[in-house]
Amino acid sequence: MSTKHKLKIAVIGATGYTGLDLVYILSKHPKVKIVNLCATKNLNKNISFFDKRIKKKLPKTSSINKINWNDLDLVFLSLPNGEAQKIIKKTYYKFKNLKYIDLSADFRITNPKKYYKTYNIKHHAKELIKKSIYSISEFNKFNIQNYRIISNPGCYPTSIQLALNPLLKKKLINIKDITIDSKSGYSGAGKGLKNKFKHKNLFNSTFAYNVKNHRHMSEIDQEFYKITKNKVNYTLNPHLLPTFRGILSSIYVNTKGKVKAEKIRNELKRFYKKSKFIKILKLNSELGSGDVLNTNNCEISVCETRVKNKIIIFSAIDNLVKGASGQAVQNMNLLYKFSETLGLK
């Protein structure tokens, strides 16, 4: 595809929190033409009806039946788990130049049995899993172009893996005892928030949930194993915060031997020296999600504790941007060999 021509794009699931952030980012991207904005209800409406930030004149919301698949280069799917795989299965072989970026979990788990166990959904496109790639952008800058199905990772796994994967590769931390305490704004639960969380004072309280079996653990287990070839023993303690967006992961690790916090920080700094969106702060820096909101950035701080060989790594992202829509656009940029930061500054 010549870069002189704009990518013709459809966003399926355009009116959810993630979908709207995606449309907002794409509406300002210089290499994109949005052809279809698909939803299941509130059809034939301007997208500004759902999000006042979107000023550009775009196609009105329509059903997926209105799509002319031959006219598209790329489809973003921001749908409930189980739906994207059906659409991709119907179109993958028929439209051989079409590419997909899936923001659900449908292609994150390579083992269909594990997918079923995690999401209680049978996978109906098993043969396409091996034709997809799980892509945290910073780890897949070159091989992503060999695939047509790009699986965007979950928001918690993004914040956690950006902090830990480089250290696991260098074997700098003990893999037998890691504690991950992650806190997310409530937009991570989607617009069906009140159906998923019934606790009292939902919008005025902090709530811990799914400590033993959060569904993102399967994804994290899989990706950690690819690096270590061993089981990484960790606990993940997710919390819902009374804020709309943002994630802060506090990761407690034990270093190996004489490895100090400064060496951990230096390794992260080295690994991400060419990564535009990853900011490694000075040692022992305080960190919150405030500076990364509405950006595709991830800020990481390595902190010493009063316990020998125990450090805390803080990782902050916007769950709707770097944890979802922004990373999806970053993956698109890599897929089509655009500048990685295009449309995301």
Q: Which residues are catalytic, by number?
A: 155
Asked whether 38 and 12 are in contact (CB, 8 A), the reply is: yes
Residue 236, burial from CB neighbour count under 10 angstroms (0-12, 13-18, 19+) = buried
Rounded Cα distance, 20 and 126, in Å: 29
248 CA to centre of own chain: 14
Structural tokens at position 231 = 């089981």
Asked whether 137 and 332 are in contact (CB, 8 A), the reply is: no
H, E, C per residue of 44-79: CCCHHHCCCCCCCCCCCEECHHHCCHHHCCEEEECC
- Based on its alpha-carbon atoms, the radius of gyration of the chain, rounded to whole angstroms, reads 20
Nearest to 79 by CA among 156, 128, 17: 17
**Beta-sheet strand order (sheet of 207-208):** 207-208, 234-241, 178-185, 247-254, 310-317, 298-304, 278-280
Rounded Cα distance, 22 and 18, in Å: 6
Q: CA angle, corner 276, sides to 273 and 280, nearest 5?
A: 55
3-class state of residue 246 by DSSP: coil
3-class state of residue 19 by DSSP: helix
Max Cα distance, the chain (Å): 63
Q: DSSP letter string over 125-192? A: -HHHHTTEEE--GGG-TTGGGG-SEEEPPPHHHHHHHHHHHHHHHTT-B-SS-EEEEEEEEGGGG-TT
Pairing of strands 7-12, 74-77: parallel
